[in-house]
């Protein structure tokens, strides 16, 4: 791997290259050696490539962050340990069902938010899946005879269906169903953004609002296509198709670099029950100050490793790290140090933790105006 | 932002109005993000208030595997972004001051953001605006430096442990973000 990596400019470019090759190969297989490429969808195809390259670059950069790297290292290590297999499978299945498919934790933040997010999330995932499936030719439909349609996946003929059957209607209207879900979710989300003033504290137009309006443009123009050929006899169909293509291209190019990037990183939530807290709110490691459980050994080891890798020197006088104490003891230790009281649970470092990293030096390090010194001299007298 | 937060722990009378005020702040979802605790309950009833230091290089953000903890242009360290936070609680263990709180129900971390919507317009954060004993203050840098200078002199006169070399470590803390 190291040899291969050296022949590329960077890790990100290597992985991007691999992803592009795989995608290209999948098109080659899916379209029967490029015989059935939908050239109508060429714009979508180019932006889909940008989408996948963007995701790969972002994910590579994200995995290189010291904290992420540490968590992934422990995850891979635990995956390889035969003793933990039962816990691993349980963690992955539980995260997949509770966290990703049902999104229970968002419903706990509010039913409204839960419904809104679930609709947008599955509308997006559904329509992305159909889009990539059609654009890369991973699946297409074939007419077997006058009343039979067949779904062809990766050039392998699969299920057959009657074109007027319920299943066929569901498949043909997949994008419309996803768009309807999206439309409801988006209207709910935009209404929440307008009504709820608490959200404006940290709201950023380019981060929180732009993706909403962009998705709305994609959804509405997509649904208008159906309206156009079903109800209006194809009125303005080609214009709407072009507008839809433009919005989708912007969406696909934007996806890896904005708010929606939280989708590909979500599966890492499985690392929490897998590596750290097997059952929610059950801690196993005791605080060395108050002897109450507050965490577990693996997590504290990881946190200390991450801080060490990033040149944080938080070691205290007694040789412990602040993370060996529970948060309440940590707060108490710090205050006791500042009030010049000897703490019964441990000795803190002589130097207070620097929170300003030399960017600002407290105390006399900063030269002030002459009048300031004159005043303090006067006060001393 | 030109002003800074200044804490004097021994001024705290334990009324917890800062916590009540914190619950009222926009976006705090009726949950307080600061602490009022006893220094050593067996010795005295002295309490202390505690807020986030808004570090320039925050340990909580550095140990976040999802890159969810963001810092604003002014330097305020915000709560974990709800869409990114995977709920691992690394930040609560990485923070040397024990500040971030964790909500197991909603699976997200929340922490003192210095009432960002107020302080970005130089309005005192909720806690500082209600503190009756001035244990929490939101003041100018110059005013703060003068207060600290007085404290060091007082500490030296009273013959406490600090010496000339390290006297700055024994004065109340100031924090927050400001630019010259």
Q: What is the pLDDT of residue A341?
A: 72
* Reported confidence tier of residue B169, pLDDT bands at 50, 70, 90: low
* Reported confidence tier of residue B41, pLDDT bands at 50, 70, 90: confident
Q: Do A105 and B107 touch (CB under 8 A)?
A: yes
Chain A CB within 8 Å of residue B143 CB: no
Q: What percent of chain A has pLDDT over 70?
A: 90
Enter the DSSP assignment of A207.
I
* Reported confidence tier of residue A354, pLDDT bands at 50, 70, 90: low
Chain B CB within 8 Å of residue A79 CB: no
Q: What share of chain A is helix, strand, coil (3-state, %, to 5)?
A: 65, 5, 25
Select, from the ranges A114-128, A144-158, A308-322, the one with the highest average predicted confidence (pLDDT). Answer: A114-128
Q: What is the pLDDT of residue A350?
A: 55
B9 neighbourhood in chain A, CB within 8 Å: 335, 338-339
Chain B CB within 8 Å of residue A287 CB: no
**pLDDT above 70 (res A369):** no
Chain B CB within 8 Å of residue A299 CB: yes
Q: How far is A330 from chain B (nearest CA, A)?
A: 6
A204 against A184, higher pLDDT: A184
B117 neighbourhood in chain A, CB within 8 Å: 200-201
- Give just the sign of the alpha carbon dihedral A193, A199, A200, A203: negative
**pLDDT above 60 (res A108):** yes
**pLDDT above 50 (res A357):** no
Chain B CB within 8 Å of residue A381 CB: no
Query: What's the Cα-to-Cα distance from A307 to each of A35, A176, A271, A302, B87, rounded to whole Å?
Result: 54, 49, 19, 9, 19
Q: Which residue has the tokens 């242009």?
A: B73
B166 neighbourhood in chain A, CB within 8 Å: 350
Q: What is the pLDDT of residue A74?
A: 93
**pLDDT above 70 (res A372):** no
Q: What percent of chain B has pLDDT over 90?
A: 33
Q: What is the pLDDT of residue A363?
A: 40
CA nearest to A201 within chain B: B117
**pLDDT above 90 (res B100):** yes
Q: Do A274 and A78 form a contact (C-beta atoms < 8 A)?
A: yes
B54 neighbourhood in chain A, CB within 8 Å: 355
pLDDT (mean) for A51-60: 95
pLDDT (mean) for A33-39: 81
Q: How far is B132 from chain A (nearest CA, A)?
A: 20
Query: What are the extents of the domains in chain A?
Result: 2-271, 287-365
Residues 6+ apart with CB under 8 A from A362: A356, B168, B174
Enter the DSSP assignment of A352.
P
Q: How far is A375 from chain B (nearest CA, A)?
A: 10
Residues 6+ apart with CB under 8 A from B43: none
Q: Which of B56, B62, B89 sits opposite A312 (nearest CB)?
A: B62
Instruction: Name residues 26-65 of chain B within 8 A of A (Cβ).
Output: 26-27, 29, 35, 37, 39-40, 48, 50, 53-57, 59, 62-65
ipTM of the prediction greater than 0.90, yes or no:
no
Q: Do B117 and A344 touch (CB under 8 A)?
A: no
Chain A CB within 8 Å of residue B6 CB: no
Per-residue H/E/C for chain B: CCEEEEECHHHCCCCCHHHHHHHHCCCCCCCCCCEEEECCCCCCCCEEEECCCCCCCCHHHHCCCCCCCCECCCCCECCCCCCCCCCCCHHHHHCCCCCCEEECCCCEEECCCCCHHHHCCCCCCHHHHHCCCCCEEEEEHHHHHHHHHHHHHHHHHCCCCCCCCCHHHHCCCEECCCCC
Q: How far is A298 from chain B (nearest CA, A)?
A: 11
Q: Do A198 and B26 touch (CB under 8 A)?
A: yes
User: What residues does A152 pair with on adjacent strands?
Assistant: A140, A157
């Amino acid at each position: 791997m190291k040899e291969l990596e050296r022949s590329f400019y960077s890790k990100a470019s290597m992985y991007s290259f691999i992803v592009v090759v795989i995608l290209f190969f999948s098109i080659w297989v899916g379209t029967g050696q490029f015989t059935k490429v939908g050239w109508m969808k060429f714009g979508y195809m180019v932006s889909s490539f940008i989408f996948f390259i963007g995701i790969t670059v972002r994910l590579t950069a994200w995995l290189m962050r010291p904290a992420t790297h540490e968590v992934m290292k422990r995850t891979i290590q635990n995956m390889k340990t035969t003793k933990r297999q039962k816990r691993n499978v349980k963690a992955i299945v539980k995260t997949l069902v509770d966290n990703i498919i049902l999104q229970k934790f968002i419903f706990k933040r509010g039913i409204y938010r839960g419904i809104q997010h679930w609709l947008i999330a599955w509308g997006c995932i559904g329509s992305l899946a159909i889009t990539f499936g059609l654009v890369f030719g991973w699946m297409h439909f074939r007419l077997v005879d006058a009343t039979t349609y067949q779904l062809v996946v990766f050039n392998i003929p699969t299920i057959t269906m009657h074109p007027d059957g319920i299943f066929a209607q569901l498949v043909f209207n997949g994008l419309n169903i996803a768009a309807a879900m999206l439309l409801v979710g988006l209207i709910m989300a935009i209404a929440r953004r307008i009504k709820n003033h608490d959200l404006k504290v940290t709201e950023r137009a380019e981060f929180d609002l732009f993706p909403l309006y962009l998705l709305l443009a994609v959804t509405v123009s997509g649904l208008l296509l159906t309206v156009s050929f079903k109800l209006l006899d194809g009125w303005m169909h080609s214009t709407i198709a072009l507008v839809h293509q433009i919005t989708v291209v912007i969406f696909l190019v934007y996806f890896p670099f904005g708010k929606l990037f939280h989708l590909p990183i979500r599966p890492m939530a499985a690392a929490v029950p897998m590596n750290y807290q097997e059952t929610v709110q059950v801690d196993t490691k005791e605080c060395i100050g108050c002897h109450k459980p507050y965490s577990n050994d693996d997590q504290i080891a990881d946190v200390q490793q991450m801080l060490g890798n990033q040149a944080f020197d938080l070691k205290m006088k007694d040789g412990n790290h602040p993370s060996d104490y529970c948060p309440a003891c940590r707060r108490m230790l710090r205050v006791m140090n500042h009030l010049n009281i000897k703490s019964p649970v441990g000795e803190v470092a002589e130097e207070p933790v620097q929170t300003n990293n030399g960017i600002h030096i407290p105390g006399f390090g900063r030269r002030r105006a002459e009048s300031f010194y004159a005043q303090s001299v006067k006060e001393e007298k | 932002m030109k002003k800074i937060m200044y804490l004097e722990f021994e001024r705290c009378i334990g009324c917890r109005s800062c916590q009540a005020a914190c619950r009222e702040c926009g976006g705090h979802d009726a949950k307080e993000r600061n602490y009022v605790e006893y220094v050593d309950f067996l010795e005295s009833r002295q309490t202390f208030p505690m807020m986030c230091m808004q570090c320039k290089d925050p340990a909580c953000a550095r140990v976040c595997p999802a890159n969810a903890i963001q810092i604003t242009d002014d330097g305020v360290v915000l709560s974990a972004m709800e869409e990114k936070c995977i709920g691992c609680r690394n930040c609560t263990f990485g923070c040397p001051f024990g500040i971030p709180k964790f909500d197991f129900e909603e699976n997200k971390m929340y922490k003192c953001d210095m009432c960002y919507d107020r302080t970005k317009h130089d309005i005192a954060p909720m806690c500082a605006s209600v503190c009756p004993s001035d244990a929490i203050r939101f003041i100018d840098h110059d005013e703060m430096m003068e207060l600290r200078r007085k404290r060091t002199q007082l500490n030296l006169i009273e013959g406490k442990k600090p010496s000339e070399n390290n006297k700055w470590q024994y004065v109340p803390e100031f924090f927050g973000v400001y630019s010259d």
